[in-house]
Amino acid sequence: MNISCSPQGFQTPHSAEEVPFYLPVGNECALFEAAYRHRLPLLLKGPTGCGKTRFVAHMAAQLGRPLFTVSCHDDLTAADLTGRYLLKGGETVWVDGPLTRAIREGGICYLDEIVEARKDVTVVLHPLTDDRRILPLERTGETLKAPEGFMLVVSYNPGYQNILKSLKPSTRQRFVALSFDFPPPEVEVEIVASESGLPRERCIPLINLANGLRGLKGVDLEEVVSTRLLVYCAILMGEGLDPFQAAQVALVEPLCDETEVKEGLLELIRATYG
């Protein structure tokens, strides 16, 4: 089943027929399975592009559960998650949101970057994150009881956290949490090679370059090179693009606009690729 986005910004379930590629770096898979078995809500913390979303897709497929992914944003409301009445064919009908569908179908609902959503969203989640595991639908008068197959997973990037966009302690303490970071170099080489098709030996200098660039976080860069961007760069290199040009458009331009900083990053690339 292909993924398609709705106007509300959420995605239809992933098919469980194919397991998305994911290379574990620790015991995160076992911890996810334990949380799933015991019906515990899970919070994932880590930088953008480090593999959180791919990890959830991988685990959902491994467990054979449909996955409903919601990309949270400033305008996301509780009704976008639960559902609303809409006009269809001249009559008013109730349309379930992705959270409600995940509960009815016993799937996994993944809220990506939960801190970006409006505060009323987290309030809706509270009854699902304790022993009640219920979702009251005031508009329809229903109270849905989450089945055993349902799991709630949320994520956010602590690097963007500030006083206005953070999870309240009362919400954080409703979840078990896993911290993610970029994979160790030897693992990241395998990931980039597998995802891009670029030979492993050509990925090694690219990963070395990335680790050099990541050392600049907080000095010249607010954010650093993600594994996702490394895959993009490797794909361009596999298409025959010169490594310097590929790194410029995939690793430098997406991260920085300041001319002096970009020149400094390009010098690191020249030192890597000559």
Domain spans of the chain?
28-179, 185-273
Residue pLDDT, tens place only, 62-110: 999 999 999 999 999 999 999 999 998 889 999 999 999 999 999 999 9
Flag whether pLDDT at 10 surpasses 80. no
Cβ within 8 Å of residue 45, ≥6 positions away? 155, 156, 157, 158, 177, 178, 179, 180
Cβ within 8 Å of residue 33, ≥6 positions away? 59, 62, 63
The mean pLDDT value of the chain amounts to 90
In a 10 Å sphere around its CB, with 0-12 CB exposed, 13-18 middle and 19+ buried, how is residue 146 labelled? buried
Residues 84, 81: Cα–Cα separation, whole Å: 9
Flag whether pLDDT at 273 surpasses 60. yes
Cβ within 8 Å of residue 78, ≥6 positions away? 118, 120, 121, 123, 124
- pLDDT mean over 246-258: 93
The architecture in CATH of the region 28-179 reads 3-Layer(aba) Sandwich (3.40)
- pLDDT mean over 196-210: 97
Flag whether pLDDT at 130 surpasses 60. yes
Residue pLDDT, tens place only, 103-120: 999 999 999 999 999 888
For position 250, what pLDDT does the model report?
Answer: 97
Instruction: Give the lowest-confidence range in 27-41, 128-142, 213-227.
Output: 213-227
Residue pLDDT, tens place only, 20-56: 999 999 999 999 999 999 999 999 999 989 999 999 9
For position 89, what pLDDT does the model report?
Answer: 84
Residues 21, 122: Cα–Cα separation, whole Å: 30
Instruction: Give the lowest-confidence range in 52-61, 109-118, 175-184, 254-263.
Output: 254-263
Residues 83, 109: Cα–Cα separation, whole Å: 14
